[in-house]
Structure 1
Amino acid sequence: MLESLHWADPETAEVFQLPRSNAAASAQLAYNLGFYNLFLAVGAVLGVVLLVAGNAVAGLTLMTFATACMLLASVVLVLSDRKLGRLSLVQGGPAALSLVLSLLGT
């Protein structure tokens, strides 16, 4: 949501610790990135739906792939800039929890 719909908002610039002057220059990239993240989230939710519907293999595979991608992206974020550790936890924490729970349930 932040990248795709609220990139120019001052609050979003604060979250990502970016100068507001960079918002316009990077808006197209952020828009694309926001939808990329949304599609990963849809994949994780679809995995849950498949799991509940009785297709455990497909559901767990999709959930594991999507949440692993989210977790790895949060690791890349914090490795790129240690000051973004809090943001990395917000991004990767739920993914890590979901990944651990889904793997423990198998």
Structure 2
Amino acid sequence: PPHYIDASKGDRKSVTFQKDNICGFVDIGGSEKYCIGLFLGQARVKGKAWGGGDKLLIFDWDGNPVKKIDLPQKYLQMAISDDKIILLGHDPKTIDFVVHTLDLSEI
């Protein structure tokens, strides 16, 4: 399994994936008004690629939930400006790149 180093102690520790592990935030970013997370929220399936997140969870900068947006497919990464969210993923059938843009003013 993967390992990490606990910098406070210098220890190397193992990350053991269990059958009930949940894949959470895939990517996170912010705009002037919002903290935005690309989220999956599904149990990990051993041997199967997670494939990204299919929800946007949007919070204000005080940590209050603002909106959840269900996306049409899974996306791997996002970029955020003050007026747009740009998502990058793969078409599940063709494996071609897919770019999806959302306008933050509509949130």
Task: Report the TM-score when normalising by structure 2.
Answer: 0.23
* Higher RCO (CA-CA < 8 Å; seq separation 6+): 1
Task: Report the TM-score when normalising by structure 1.
Answer: 0.23
Q: Identify, as 1 or 2, the structure richer in strand.
A: 2
